[in-house]
Amino acid sequence: MLRRLWERLRHGADTLPYPGGTPGFPERFRGRPVLDPAGAGGPALDLGACLFSPDEATACPEGALRFTTEHRLASRTREGLVTATGELPSPAALQGRARRLFGRSLRLRSVVAGSCGGCEAELVALGNVVFDMARFGVQFVASPRHADGIVVTGTVNPNMRAALEKTYEAVPDPRLVIAVGACAIGGGPFRAGPEAGTGVPAGIPVDLYIPGCPPHPLTILDGLLRLLGRIEDGTRGPRG
């Protein structure tokens, strides 16, 4: 027992100082893509459809697309993920009653609906000692009745659509919907298939889109904290 305590003390804290200290991502990390040269008239980038694969960069005409190590990607709207310049507005924080209700304590129910399991692995990682999402008052709960909103991952395939709708209905109003990953936003790598869906269906309005395949845990955390108004540093330009 003493040995264990000593081990614990010796080790110290593991939690990343976030927000604040930005972690160093390795050079090869594929965060926000940009077009070179950026600009008018060129093709638009859709982060909701992007799978953040190196093949997408090589498939583009000579050097046009490249990935930066910028991990902050979330948007409040679907259109907000489409950019001609590579610039992204920071998602607007909740205001008024929603902010008062959820800003310091947000309980979420996870609905996995036709995914590969990758996005859930990163949601689970948010609970570990390194990312420790609970310190911001954000937690996953065991019942939709206890939840303030749902986090959807996966393509929302025919086999899960009814379960998603029922879970959404069971969450009391006001409720948030957060779509995590390319699959939940638009079907991801499976979007051509008849047995996969194309993301959260129109009847379920999404409050926050977090792109990635899967998004890095800090990409998810950053999106959540901006939604809750816990990061308002304006580092991503005008709020929109």
Interface residues with ligand SF4 (CB under 6 A)? 115-116, 118-119, 153-154, 181-183, 188-189, 213-214
* Smallest distance from ligand SF4 to CB 120, Å: 8
φ/ψ bin of 161: left (φ > 0), alpha (ψ from -120 to 50), beta (otherwise): alpha
Q: Is 95 in the site for another protein (CB under 8 A)?
A: no
By beta-carbon proximity to another protein, the closer residue of 93 and 126 is: 126
Helices 217-227 & 118-125, crossing angle to 10 degrees?
A: 70
Amino acid code (one letter) for 76: R
Selection from another protein, ligand SF4, none that 168 binds (CB < 5 to 8 A by kind) is none
Amino acid code (one letter) for 101: L
Give, in degrees to the nearest 5, the angle at Cα 138 between 199 and 76: 40
The interface mask with another protein, positions 16-35, x = CB under 8 A, is ---------xx-xxx-----
* Smallest distance from another protein to CB 115, Å: 6
Residue in 182, 226, 171 with CA at minimum distance from that of residue 47: 182
Q: Is 2 in the site for another protein (CB under 8 A)?
A: no
Q: Is 134 in the site for another protein (CB under 8 A)?
A: no
What residues form DSSP beta bridges with 83? 45
Q: Is 55 in the site for another protein (CB under 8 A)?
A: yes
Contact between 109 and 140 (Cβ < 8 Å): yes
* Smallest distance from another protein to CB 146, Å: 10
DSSP 142-189: S-GGG-SEEEEES---HHHHHHHHHHHHHSPSS-EEEEESHHHHH-GG
The interface mask with another protein, positions 100-129, x = CB under 8 A, is ---------xxxxxxxxxxxxxxxxx-xxx
Binding site for another protein (CB under 8 A): 3-4, 7-8, 11, 14, 25-26, 28-30, 51-55, 59, 67, 109-125, 127-130, 140, 142-144, 154-155, 157-160, 163, 167, 188-190, 192-196, 213-214, 216
